[in-house]
Chains A and B, each alone.
Chain A
């Protein structure tokens, strides 16, 4: 996707998620006001008081869920703000897990972001990086057996950074073959090049998947 197109998509999505948050804020405050008023008449004989409290609790719970989802979507939208930005890899991988969680759940898989030894920050294109990671995850979701677990782990690799997108080899019906990138990831080559990155298959120590090598800073 061209920079202008992604910036447009980002701007619209960021604006809409901001509006949705305002809607959620009004729902939260309205439910909160009802709770406040109910607590003022706790001693009264209002027959459905307990039921009202339960329902208001459900509303507040769903608002919290909606806020979490829109916050993630808002962050994703803002990842299109600039073609190159400082990226905290642990935060970005947490974000990826959140965005892809639903797709993993549909395949009955567990998806998790694993911690780096220490914080790693790089300068890269956050939107394109997420696009590559999502494509790799999607590919692994297609190969993984039900009940499997897929992880994302950043690590320093010499002067570069490596992100492992992997699961236990036994958890795949047919893991990616060593040294051979799947055909469906072919269209990513231009994006991988733009990130000055390299995508390799991983088959080591009982794990299988991909390793994405990235420079600390795009030149």
Chain B
């Protein structure tokens, strides 16, 4: 039984689907979409507990998608994936409200750990808010 749901947003279809399979094997329900517009639509109808978002995508870029998620669904944590050699892009994303960022290719254990932390934190914030 899945613990919670993650939305994986990456235009590299094979990367996203393979990662989703690996997460599923670890008890995490993973849904994939392959561009920013599809991600926003999906979140609107079926909000996940967390979003893992690639920064470099055609159409709406990762930072723009992040900005819109944070505007419309501030409680959903977002972890960014960056393929650049430097950390600057990821830090820019954290300034916009991302929970954290990971460099591609990722280590699955590191991603799972980071997702758990982020979901736990957002759950506890929500619990405090609702009293």
Contacts and interface: CB of A to CB of B under 8 A. Distances in A.
Interface of A: 14, 17-18, 21-22, 24-26, 28-30, 32-33, 36-37, 40, 63, 67, 70-75, 78
A196 to B, nearest CB: 25
Contacts of B104: 21-22, 25
A29 B19 contact: yes
Interface residues on B, range: 10 to 19
Nearest to B106: A25
Given A24-B105, A32-B22, A36-B22, A74 B12 contact: no
A32 B20 CA distance: 12
Contact of B84 (A32, A67, A78): A78
Interface in B53-93: 56, 83-86
Contacts of B106: 25
Given A29-B15, A36-B22, A67-B105, A22 B85 contact: no
Interface of B: 12, 14-15, 18-19, 21-22, 25, 56, 83-86, 103-106, 108
27 contacts: A14-B84, A17-B85, A18-B56, A21-B104, A22-B12, A22-B83, A25-B12, A25-B15, A25-B83, A25-B104, A26-B12, A26-B15, A28-B105, A29-B15, A30-B14, A32-B108, A33-B21, A33-B25, A36-B22, A36-B25, A63-B105, A74-B83, A74-B84, A74-B85, A75-B85, A75-B86, A78-B85
Nearest to B25: A36
Nearest to B88: A78
B124 to A, nearest CB: 30
A72 B25 contact: no
A206 B85 CA distance: 38
Given A25-B83, A33-B18, A74-B85, 4 more contacts: A18-B84, A29-B18, A32-B22, A63-B105
Nearest to B21: A33
B18 A30 contact: yes
Contacts of B105: 21, 24-25, 28-29, 63, 67
